[in-house]
Amino acid sequence: MDPNPIGFQKHDHSHCVADAVAEADRTCQKAGLQLTPVRKRALEILLEEHRALGAYDVLARLAEDGFGSQPPVAYRALDFLTKNGFAHKIERLNAFIACAHPGDIHTPAFLICTTCDAVAEAETDPSHSLLNQIADTTGFRISRAVLEAEGTCPNCLANDQAKDPK
Amino acid sequence: MDPNPIGFQKHDHSHCVADAVAEADRTCQKAGLQLTPVRKRALEILLEEHRALGAYDVLARLAEDGFGSQPPVAYRALDFLTKNGFAHKIERLNAFIACAHPGDIHTPAFLICTTCDAVAEAETDPSHSLLNQIADTTGFRISRAVLEAEGTCPNCLANDQAKDPK
DNA sequence: GCCCGTCACGTAATAACATAACACACCAAA
DNA sequence: TTTGGTGTGTTATGTTATTACGTGACGGGC
Ligand SMILES: [Zn+2]
Ligand SMILES: [Zn+2]
Ligand SMILES: [Zn+2]
Ligand SMILES: [Zn+2]
């Protein structure tokens, strides 16, 4: 199991955490949002993994660092991050992941590997997404979409074939 | 709030419950599946509403009818129904809804009205769904997809306009 | 200075959702 | 008759999420 799969590819990870936090800092400055210590730490915690973390996982790490140890501490931080586009909730997993493309308004699609637990965030073309088609034909006005696919990532697919090459 | 919105349109509902149960009966016959009393009743309960019901809602109704009153009773019945295509779980709501198109293998998309809580099940074209496009370009193999949109249904949209016609 | 609104944070308690583990009944095959 | 599978029921527990309440920090009127 690859501990480091972003979009299922390897990369220099120590940089990307720091970079993402720095960018979040800037974005919050501009938008008048407060990236407070708990919130920043929560974002770091999410960024340290390329998989989804449960709220209680995040909470435990926050508590280790001297922050509050009760559920609302984590839920509030995660709420801030998701509301402002720095993180997403993966509904299928009841878990949270840092946004891979923060800043832009986007409708992400997630690819969840059930073998290695990696989660990749894919961009969708908002103009001809299938949900918009549905919305157009039914007259339903979409405010938020959940697009999540479970399956096997390319890495795990390759591993499977290596072991069992039929 | 319309108590009866299937695909957000009105229809004769007493019939459609009975019909759907009858068809589930036939399907189970053919497939060698046991549509036992709890399972059948759970399906009826879901069919009686065109919205998603929590497992504990279903459980309470089952208990009223003399079935077991502990969570596994509901979860097992719902598990049977979802595994065999008679119902779906709405991940966004942690709740369950009867399948509107049972029988066929399909990748449903759900439209969840946040005003009246109605949930409609839309069919998707499996061949050019956006998730397949993503899968093709990334090499990810999808086994299951979650497609859920939150927003406002046509009925509620009309009501809003009637009240506040800007 | 003080008052007050808002916001973030902390905590306790509880609600809501879900599963593990075990016992018993039933039925059909060996 | 025994055995194995499947379904149901129960107790207990685990996991995820929210409600309710209190405190401190900050900023704008007065
Ligand atoms: Zn990274
Ligand atoms: Zn994988
Ligand atoms: Zn109906
Ligand atoms: Zn509605």
pLDDT digits (tens, 9 = 90+) for B23-38: 999 999 999 999 999 9
Residues 87-116 of A with CB under 8 A from B: 91-92, 109, 111, 113-114
Is residue B40 within 8 A of residue B17, CB to CB? The reply is no
**Span CA (A40) to C1' (C9), Å:** 14
The Å distance, Cα A51 to ligand 1 centre, comes to 10
Residue type, A23: E
Which tokens sit at A120?
Answer: 């990749």
Positions in chain C where some atom is under 7 Å from a protein CB:
7-14, 16-21
Antiparallel, parallel or unpaired: β B87-90 and B109-113: unpaired
Residue type, B141: R
Residues B19 and A2: their CA atoms lie apart, in Å, by 50
pLDDT-based confidence at residue A35 (cuts at 50, 70, 90): very high
Cβ of B71 near strand D (under 7 Å)? The reply is yes
pLDDT at B166 over 60: no
CATH class of B13-163: mainly alpha
Residue partners of A92: CB distance under 8 A and separation at least 6:
A112, A148, A150, B91, B146
Looking at residues A83-96, what average pLDDT do you find? 97
- Other CB atoms within 10 A of residue B2 CB: 16
Residues A122 and A133: their CA atoms lie apart, in Å, by 19
In total, the C-beta contacts within 8 angstroms joining chain A to chain B are 127
Per-residue pLDDT tens digits for A143-163: 999 999 999 999 999 998 776
pLDDT, position A50: 87
Cβ of A68 near strand C (under 7 Å)? The reply is yes
**Span CA (B37) to C1' (D9), Å:** 14
Task: Classify burial at B133, counting beta carbons within 10 Å of its beta carbon; exposed 0-12, middle 13-18, buried 19 or more.
Answer: middle
Q: Least CA distance to A92: which residue of chain B?
A: B91
pLDDT at A3 over 60: no
